[in-house]
Structure 1
Amino acid sequence: MIIIVFGLPGSGKSFFASRLADKLNVKYISSDQTRKGVHALGKYSFEDKMTIYHLMAKNVDEDLNQGETVVIDATFHHDAMRAIFINLGKRRETPIRFILIQATDSITKKRLSGIRQDSEADYAVYLLIREQFEMPEIPILKLQSENDNIDRMTQKALEYLRGSYE
């Protein structure tokens, strides 16, 4: 199975996605970590972003060959980014699930004001991506990230995935 955790910078998606992967004991792939791994920090043109998404898809494809379930963490703010993985899932006949993580502007602004381990995104990037964000027209689970609800979010995600995962 492919589990896509997506949302705007500062929404809490990476925090959530890494914990969900731990809870499920599955592979975790992050666009931020992938970008760092190929020395592409500071490269954020649409083409640069698509290169990272294609690289993540290649890694997911290899993990699926090993029988792995994968949690992928990225903004996925354009339909073209999601299409790469939707097509991979169809080609592999592998279920794919989408979980959108959202947060209020005030929580996001506070989160983005601090130093973050892997992401270079700041509040200006958040505003830009928010403007560019294309809401998918596919089934998704929407979760609201607050500062103290990670356990509730994880439980809702597990319930959402349960029918597909077992």
Structure 2
Amino acid sequence: MKGRRLIIMAGLPGSGKSTVAAGFAKALGVPVISVDPLEAAMWRSGIPAAITGISAYVIAEAIAEENLKLGLTVIVDAVNPVDAARMAWVRLAERTNAALVFVECFCSDPAVHRKRIERRVREIAGMAEITWDRVEERRAEYEAWKVPRITVDTAMDDPAELVEHLLPLLRGE
């Protein structure tokens, strides 16, 4: 891999971003920092849910920064629905002189997307599975992108094939 990279996975819940992130992590031998387990850990420790969303992003950013300072590539797995969240990653990449790659996953088939949500079991202690209604609410909150990104439609393609296809881009080849 050519230099350290900050790979930011984005997309609605159930869009396939965690599955694709895990594939990237295995192929590249790098860690994934996922916002959901961080937020769930805060809930388990008694921190009110009203303040954990942004806090989980800030913690993920701090962990990513420490790893980037060590010269490591990092993958961050989070919805990243708003420009403010995305710009925090841009600033982190600038601070650490890391190459930044945004990968936005989406599922173009609503029936497939809904089925994923209704069947998914992630087993994150302290975190209930998201409902389809909440995914629709998140979709309404999702802001237009202002920074370049790679978009991946996960509706029909096998995640392993998507990972294999994108690896050269992530490696800077």
TM-score normalized by the length of structure 1? 0.89
Distance 1:42 1:135, change over 3 A: farther
1:113 and 1:122 in contact (8 A); partners too? yes
Residue 147 of structure 2 is aligned to residue 142 of structure 1 = no
Give the aligned partner of residue 101 of structure 2: 97
Give the aligned partner of residue 114 of structure 1: 119
What SS is found at the alignment partner of 1:135? coil
Q: Deviations over 1:117-163 (max 9, x none)?
A: 13632211110110011121221111111355112210222132232
Residue 10 of structure 2 is aligned to residue 6 of structure 1 = yes
What SS is found at the alignment partner of 2:135? helix
- The farther-off stretch of 3-12 and 131-140 is 131-140
Q: Deviations over 1:59-109 (max 9, x none)?
A: 101111222111111100011111111111111111110001111211111
Residue type at the aligned position of 2:66? E
Q: Distance in 2 between matches of 1:59 and 1:111?
A: 29
Q: Structure 2: which 5+ runs fail to align?
A: none
What SS is found at the alignment partner of 2:43? coil
2:82 and 2:142 in contact (8 A); partners too? yes
Residue type at the aligned position of 2:121? R
Residue 137 of structure 2 is aligned to residue 128 of structure 1 = yes
Q: What count of residue pairs does the alignment treat as equivalent? A: 163
Q: Distance in 1 between matches of 2:23 and 2:42?
A: 24
Q: Structure 1: which 5+ runs fail to align?
A: none
What SS is found at the alignment partner of 1:38? helix
1:14 and 1:73 in contact (8 A); partners too? yes
2:7 and 2:75 in contact (8 A); partners too? yes
TM-score normalized by the length of structure 2? 0.85
Q: How far did 1:19 drift? A: 1.4
